[in-house]
Amino acid sequence: MYALQKDILDCDDHDFDRLYSEQYRKHSSIHWTPIEIVFKALEWLNVKKESHVLDIGSGVGKFCSIGSLVSKGKFTGVEIRKDLILEAKIIDQKLGLNEVTYLHSDIKDVNFKNYDSFYYYNPFCEHISLKDSIDDSIRFSEEKYVEYEAYITLQLANLPIKTRVVTYYSPRFIFPESYELRGLLYEDNLALWIKTKE
Ligand SMILES: C[S@@+](CC[C@H](N)C(=O)[O-])C[C@H]1O[C@@H](n2cnc3c(N)ncnc32)[C@H](O)[C@@H]1O
């Protein structure tokens, strides 16, 4: 085990989040995944050397950074806000990580077929919960929320059998019928879905 891996296993979110500058750290409790949840998600996604995981709406990269530190999988984060991508890259540099890929893009411009596992922490929540918004750089609307979620559902439907998706605090997200719910934890806020049929 690398020294850094041990550090991550030992530290709590308060410690880890100190890596981020204050303007991003203040969003941690609402928008960035807690370390314990990252670990459970990695286990459920069955991340191995050949896995390629996409974090849909990667924020400051907390899920990807920890994933890359503690597993051998490949991680890509797609994020619509450029400043969050820059922060993620700064932190990864501090952590000595150069394996994570960050895409500054709208999720709609990403090819889902390049990945076998997906992490989905309610990326479009700001469209329906304005009080929790990170900033006002996005035009929020309930219609967009519905449109984005429907888009993700359609992309997942077109992926191969055995595709795994972990969702966190995403109660309204609708999975295609070809996916089965295989795990629920943390008062049903963390869910594992696997594609089992065409
Ligand atoms: C709840 S945060 C989760 C961050 C990260 N996945 C984590 O677990 O720490 C959701 C992120 O999705 C991003 N996002 C929202 N709409 C997006 C879109 N259309 N394309 C890509 N990213 C988006 C937001 O900017 C925000 O950083």
Summarised one tens digit per residue, pLDDT across range 161-189 is: 999 999 999 999 999 999 999 999 999 99
66 DSSP 8-state letter:
H
pTM: 0.97
Q: Which helix (H) or strand (E) holds 115?
A: none
pLDDT > 90 fraction of the chain, expressed in percent and rounded: 92
How many Cα atoms sit within 13 Å of 120 on the Cβ side?
Answer: 25
Coil vs helix vs strand at 40? helix
pLDDT at 3: 62
Pocket probe mutation, ligand 1, options 78, 82, 121, 145, max atoms within 8 Å of Cβ: 121
Q: Which atom of ligand 1 is nearest to the CA of 32?
A: 9
Report which residue type is found at 53: V
User: What's the sign of the alpha-carbon dihedral 139, 122, 85, 107?
Assistant: negative
What is the C-alpha to C-alpha distance for residues 65 and 20, in angstroms, rounded to an integer?
A: 12
Helix, strand, or coil here: 185?
strand
The tens digit of pLDDT for each residue in 90-147 reads 999 999 999 999 999 999 999 999 999 999 999 999 999 988 899 999 999 999 999 9
**Top-tier CATH class for 3-195:** alpha beta
End-to-end CA distance of the chain: 39
Q: Which residues line ligand 1 (CB under 6 A)?
A: 31-33, 55, 57-59, 62-63, 78-81, 84, 106-107, 121-124, 134, 148
